[in-house]
Amino acid sequence: MSILIVEGGRRLSGRIAVEGNKNSALPLIAACLLTDEECVLTNVPRIRDVEVMAEILRGLGARVDGLGTATLRITCERIVTERPDPELVGKLRGSVLLLSPLLARRGAARLAPPGGDFPARRTISTHLQALVALGAIALDEPGHALEAPGGLTGASIYLDEASVTGTETAVLAAVAAKGRSEIRHAAMEPHVVELCRFLRAMGAGIEGEGTPTIRVDGVERLRGAGHRLNGDYIEAGSWGVVAAITGGEIEVTGARTNDLEVIAAPLVKMGLRCRYDDDTLRVEPSKLTAARRITTSLWPGFPSDMVSLVTVLATQAEGRTLVHDWLYELRLFALEQLSAMRADLFLCDSHRMIVTGQTPLRGRHLDTRDLRSGMALIAAALTAEGESSIAPVETVERGYASLLERLQMLGAQVERVAE
């Protein structure tokens, strides 16, 4: 593991181009398992989560070329096992997306408990509900084991929550099922839409993506296809906050304007001078004021993946802000460390925090307990007085490519050292 050493108090400015959406890359890679023909994905983010997912596919018998570049060529001509490497699965929550393709190709799937952020608190009950509705049989084995010896069958499914990966799991299974499926209370996030469009290019019959009801006509055989990933709007927003919290200015390109609107809305509410047009986010030095209340929501509401960064930004805004992440527990707990940096925080419960600013922060050692709060803590360190250390930096690199190099390019005084 590595430590990121940050000397705070520097104004960060410059220009950055984001890569493909991390939350699209993993389901698209999983979808490649549904065909024995070659699939080509471009604008793939060069991040650790993609590396782990690619290695899992290789262990299943797939050929993956181009790892470490923005173009992946994936051919799953033969799938030799229904049991992905448990050690790799334990590093990646997105590995749950392999259940559907394995049921389709092997008639069975045996998955160790997926890892990632907060694995003990994030269940996959919605995913399993959808697969059982489509004809899979749950087995009494360790982890998550299912069989569908006669194949999957189309069904009418109402998801008990609008889970993103739950919706993706249902869609991945439905395209390989016999007959028509209707998935209601479906997630509407851009990465769900992107998966559906990729599957349509592979020959699947899908309609309704981007709405709460998705209809899928299963097909007997899917073909290979190519797809260019849309830019990562969460990454774009992250760099916007990094510049804003240091009083800098930045131009972030590569994410779609419509996606950026969701990110920018609460930032504008905090007085941040920013524009989003022509697939570009521009942030200028601003006097920040409290937003009173920021609440996460399902798409097209403010995404939970940005709540940690906005909470840190609120420490530098004049006044009091209530941050409410009703989607996930524990995400805000990681930010309690800001209190030791002199931030004025009151944690109401596992979903709500009151932040009073503007408070000068001071450097200290910080623990990256999850991907998004890790990036938020780096943002706090960049505006703090003195030196901070953040570890392990690998947690943040799961979702942010070339992290050290990009920070340095923007003017940050940072270095990476071995723990």
Catalytic residue among 49, 65, 117, 232: 117
Q: What is the mean pLDDT of residues 232-258?
A: 97
Q: What is the pTM of this model?
A: 0.95
pLDDT tens for each residue of 302-337? 999 999 999 999 999 999 999 999 887 777 888 999
Residues of the chain with CATH 3.65.10.10: 2-18+231-418, 22-228
| Whether residue 160 lies in the annotated active site | no
**Residue 331: predicted pLDDT:** 79
Q: Is the pLDDT of residue 376 over 70?
A: yes
Question: Domain 2-18+231-418 is of which CATH architecture?
Answer: Alpha-beta prism (3.65)
Averaged confidence pLDDT in the chain: 95
Q: Is the pLDDT of residue 120 over 90?
A: no
Burial of 79 (0-12, 13-18, 19+ CB in 10 A): middle
Residue 136 has which token pair? 């899979």
| Superfamily designation of domain 22-228 | Enolpyruvate transferase domain (3.65.10.10)
**Residue 119: predicted pLDDT:** 43
**Residue 330: predicted pLDDT:** 72
Under the banding of pLDDT at 50, 70 and 90, the label for residue 117 is: low
Dihedral angle over CA of 16, 21, 25, 27, nearest 10: 170
Would you give the distance in Å from CA 363 to the centre of its chain? 28
Q: Is the pLDDT of residue 275 over 50?
A: yes
Give the sign of the dihedral formed by CA 396, CA 398, CA 402, CA 406: negative
